[in-house]
Amino acid sequence: MFLPLKGLLVVEFSQYLSGPSAGLRLADLGARVIKIERPGSGDPCRKLAVKNLWLGDDALNFHAINRGKESFAADLKNEADREAVKKILAKADVVTHNFRPGVMERIGLAYSDVKSINERIVYAEITGYGKKGPWKNKPGQDLLIQSLSGLAYTTGDDGEGPMPFGLSIVDSICGIHAVQGILAALIRRQKTGLGAFVELSLLESGLSFQFELLTTHYHSRQSIKRSKVSNGNPLLGAPYGIYKTKDGYIALAMMSMPLLQEALGIASLGNYAPADVFEKRDEIKSIIAEQLLVKETAFWLQRLMALGLWASEVHNWDTLTQTPLYKSTGMESKIAANGDKSFTTTRCPIRIDGKAVGAKLAAPELGEHTEKIKEELLS
């Protein structure tokens, strides 16, 4: 298969997760991605280990985010290093960075600077909060954006405090939006020869992610309330949520109340009108929660599925990875590396022409490819 981005060169100044996750996807789609890293320390993500897990000298999560990339060590405050980087940029198709506003301007690598040496460049820039307004200099960190953007009031039950998503959703979504903007700009460049300046911020991506909720809020002018019982999504009526059963948990999505009444054998559900699934959501969900505790998950699932209702068990990774379904996805990917640095991670979720795609190479050591790149691109 001809990988779609084969032949394209991406220069990544980005650090941590948002920008580097974009670089990872571009690498999986066939681009060559060179990380420009500060000598001595590199991408700070190398030292930001989650759960104290390391592989060699670098955090395991750094390996997951940066597999399949090359590393070029350069001190951007040093004239000679900066000139070397500019020579790489002259040959690049895409640049990404996620420094705070003003940093790339100060070192002479802003969009206008790079455009002056490479008119066709697609230059993608990720900030935390945009480049104007009172928040522009705040740290662009995932939990903080979740908290400011209203997202923390979508999860958990009403009556509990605000609750963040347990993953770096804003970084991930912003990285995804960056890839979309970059690809769209490359498509235009192919037809017109024009480069592009693609600007993103974590906050705008975090807001866009909530577009259904925000549109509903703008229209109803009311705050969007989480359910008090098994909240699954503040916009949705009963029974939407995850409930405890006698031996575990069960998820119930949107479904017909009369059929649910039949499946669970709760006569009192028949007293509610269709609009009550929104208006009396907590009351209905309390009745359902009580009944589900009486029997095991398998018992309820069998009854719900027999009526074609949207329900499922709740897996953890131990039970999930034992299912034939999980095995059929082939999502696990073994990355071979020197020494004891081989590891298993997930592959790119996009299949092209019926085949899974993705870079199978390890993450680079800091500056691992500096000499090779100098010989190849700078001579």
Partner 1 sequence: MKLLQDILVIDFSQFLSGPSASLCLADFGADVIKIEKPGTGDICRELYVSDVMIDGESSIFHAINRNKKSYAADLKNAADVARLKQLIQKADVVMHNFRPGVMERLGFDYDSVKKINPNVIYAQISGYGEDGPWKHLPGQDLLLQSLSGLAWLNNSSHANPTPMGVSVVDMLAGAHVAQGIMALLYRKGVTGEGGSIQVSMLESALDFQFEVLTCYFNDGGQLPQRSAVNSGHAYVAAPYGIYKTKDDYIALAMADILQLGDLIGCDDLAAFTDRKDWFEKRDEIKTCLAHHLLHHTTTHWLEILEPAGVWCSKVLDYEQLTSEEGYQALNMEVVVKTSNGISVKTTRCPVRVDGELLVNERGAPALGEHNSEIDELFEIASKKEIVDLNSSI
As annotated, the active-site residues are: 171
β-strand pairing of 122-127 with 196-201? parallel
CA distance 209 to 152: 13
β-pair partners for 244: 249
Q: Nearer Cβ to partner 1, position 78 or 310?
A: 310
Long-range contact list for 265-272, CB < 8 A, 24+ apart? 265/291, 266/291
Q: Nearer Cβ to partner 1, position 132 or 375?
A: 132
Runs of H (alpha helix) within the chain: 18-28, 60-66, 79-90, 103-106, 111-117, 142-148, 169-192, 202-209, 211-220, 257-264, 276-279, 281-292, 297-306, 317-321, 324-329, 370-373
CB of 89 to partner 1, least distance (A): 19
Exposed (0-12), middle (13-18) or buried (19+): which is 336, by Cβ within 10 Å? exposed
For 96, phi then psi, to 5°, come to: -130, 145
CB of 92 to partner 1, least distance (A): 16
User: Could you tell me if residue 183 is left (phi over 0), alpha (psi between -120 and 50 degrees) or otherwise beta?
Assistant: alpha
Peptide bond into 39 cis (omega under 30): no
Helix (H, G, I), strand (E, B) or coil at 79: helix
CA distance 249 to 228: 18
Q: Nearer Cβ to partner 1, position 40 or 139?
A: 139
Q: Nearer Cβ to partner 1, position 215 or 268?
A: 215
Q: Nearer Cβ to partner 1, position 117 or 253?
A: 253
Q: Nearer Cβ to partner 1, position 83 or 212?
A: 212
User: Could you tell me if residue 266 is left (phi over 0), alpha (psi between -120 and 50 degrees) or otherwise beta?
Assistant: beta
CB of 331 to partner 1, least distance (A): 5
CB of 82 to partner 1, least distance (A): 25
In sequence order, what are the residues at sequence separation of 6 or more whose Cβ sits closer than 8 angstroms to the Cβ of residue 98?
Answer: 13, 14, 15, 16, 18, 19, 125, 126, 127, 140
CA distance readout (Å), 45 to 15, 92, 300, 366: 7, 24, 45, 12
CB of 97 to partner 1, least distance (A): 15
Neighbours of 24 (CB within 10 A): 25
CB of 372 to partner 1, least distance (A): 26
Q: Nearer Cβ to partner 1, position 9 or 253?
A: 253
CB of 193 to partner 1, least distance (A): 11
